[in-house]
Structure 1
Amino acid sequence: MIKIPPYLKKGDTIGITCPAGFMAKEKAQICINTLQRWGFHVMVGKTLGSNSTNYFSGTDEERRDELQAMLDDVNINAILCGRGGYGVGRIIDQLDFTKFKKKPKWIIGFSDITVLHSHIYTNVKIASLHAPMAAAFNEGENEFIQSLQKALAGKKTSYKLSPHPFNKNGTAIGELVGGNLSLLAHLTGTSSDINTRNKILFIEDIGEQIYSIDRMLYQLKRSGKLDNLAGLIIGGFTDIKDTDRPFGKTVYEVIQEIVAAYSYPVCFNFPVSHGKENYALKVGVKYELKVTNKAVQLKEK
């Protein structure tokens, strides 16, 4: 049974940390200002705008220790990851979730934070938030940022969108799992791997070659991750590249071909991505996915 962390109220504290790639503090200032305007206290970790001279926001030990401290701190009610990139996989096995399990809090982020979402879902059985991170606030307080605010406040999410010609109609009910396709493929066989049986799986990615997307989807297919889903949500695939000799299919055509044999509903072009369109989704929480010729709706149960 998945446990839902307490929802936030005014006066609660959100910690901001960068457990993966480096982020300049000034790029998070609008985020900090917005969270404060929403009525939250903000505790900024040293990894945000750190003195790191390489890709990461600090050494493995620095990033691990700061995230561990925020996980353990009973005065912090949610943890917003400043950015993703790469790095959580280097520290995930060194984290201790004992205190976090006793007093859970919302972990917020996407991209490389998929590692945290998946690990916590599988091993700690606590829901988390796949949602915009600090830099997204620089786009303005749009509906995607507002979806994070509503999710933190405990409002049940319901998203409706136009149909896509590749969709497969049907209704699915199940716990929502997923995130970045590259990370989900890399987590296969690790302690952070997820059991997708009877789940609604969502995937998105950025900056990959079309053949790499094809390869990672076959990794999920061959490892049984696509066999017994309740439903599948295909998000945005941004900045996708092709080889000099074309692969011959678009990303969505690749996905459509791979999932053709399955009978569960499939929704394409859902607004979850590395781009501006990135709705907050509660990982581990039960949703209903309804795909028809007229519309698609993803509704929290």
Structure 2
Amino acid sequence: MHFVQREDVQGIMCARGGWGSLRILRLLDYDIIRNNPKMIIGFSDLTALINAIYTNAGLVTFHGPVASSFNQFIYQSFKRTLLTEAKDKISLSEPKAAVIVKGKAKGRIIGGNLTVLNSLLGTPYEFDSDGAILIIEEKSEDPYKIDRMLTQLKLAGKLDNIAAAIIGDLAKLDRKRNFFPGYSPTLREVFEQHFKELGKPTIISFPFGHTQRNSTIPIGVEAELDATGKTLTFNNFNNA
């Protein structure tokens, strides 16, 4: 909490992901965080931190790089989202993204790593997905594990009332694992099964998460997804 209270500190970027952020959530003073707004950035395991701070302190946080993960694309996205003056309207687009459900929707952005999001369920840091644009990313999980986690979100009511969904740039979308004889869906098919059923605008292979193209996306801001046009546009996110 020391750096949160320092007036000369404008932002806090996590050094790396991995594990452990869930363990510290109960140790944080969310009133102090709320009264000393900082730009807090991270992804992967830090999904717990950035969503808990948004949920409990009401501050916009950022699903973006950790200090050990920069390249030119990541730096340019980070700079554009956080360090430019023209923050009133920023658009991210990906022509190579695949459309699962066409359409447009507006809502605040929530989400991050699927495994970590599920770990927040049933805790004081559980996220509110009603009316939200849900962003989901993962790293090297088998299709049956993704199916299990998406089913858990569904059973917990976290998919029922979302406005839209954006799925990150997962590697090997067409891979299978013969876990059940005669039934081996690909990763892409698992996402399609869950989100086509919802009928909400949804795209997959958007550039964020465990990828060399990890775009910086603010958590908690109002945004619009044009799934047909494969574009996410978000508005002012100033915590001041």
- TM-score w.r.t. structure 2 length? 0.89
> In the superposition, relative to structure 1, how do residues 237 and 96 fare at CA in structure 2: closer, same or farther (>3 Å)?
same
Question: Displacement of 1:173 after TM fit?
Answer: 0.6
SS at match of 2:161: coil
SS at match of 2:168: strand
Aligned to 1:291: 227
Structure 2: distance between partners of 1:199 and 1:166:
18
Question: Displacement of 1:71 after TM fit?
Answer: 1.9
Matching residue within 217, 228, 231 for 1:281 = 217
Structure 2: distance between partners of 1:300 and 1:101:
22
Structure 2: distance between partners of 1:163 and 1:239:
15
Question: Displacement of 1:92 after TM fit?
Answer: 1.0
Rg (Cα) greater in structure: 1
Structure 2: distance between partners of 1:234 and 1:272:
9
Aligned to 1:58: none
State the Cα RMSD in Å.
1.8
Aligned to 2:92: 159
Question: Displacement of 1:239 after TM fit?
Answer: 7.1
Structure 1: distance between partners of 2:26 and 2:179:
40
Amino acid at match of 1:267: I
Determine if contact 2:4/2:36 at 8 Å carries over to the other structure. no
Matching residue within 60, 75, 78 for 1:145 = 75
SS at match of 1:276: coil
Determine if contact 2:51/2:61 at 8 Å carries over to the other structure. no
Aligned to 1:223: 156
1:209 aligns with 2:142: yes
Aligned residues: 229
Counting aligned pairs with the same residue, the percent is: 36
- TM-score w.r.t. structure 1 length? 0.72
Question: Displacement of 1:164 after TM fit?
Answer: 4.5
> In the superposition, relative to structure 1, how do residues 244 and 171 fare at CA in structure 2: closer, same or farther (>3 Å)?
closer
Question: Displacement of 1:143 after TM fit?
Answer: 2.9
Aligned to 2:67: 134
Q: Which moved more, 1:258-267 or 1:197-206?
A: 258-267
Question: Displacement of 1:144 after TM fit?
Answer: 2.5
Unaligned runs of 5+ in 2: 236-240
Amino acid at match of 2:91: S
- Alpha-carbon displacement from aligned partner over 1:88-147 (angstroms, at most 9, x marks no partner): 11111011122221120110110011001111111111001111111222x3xx233111
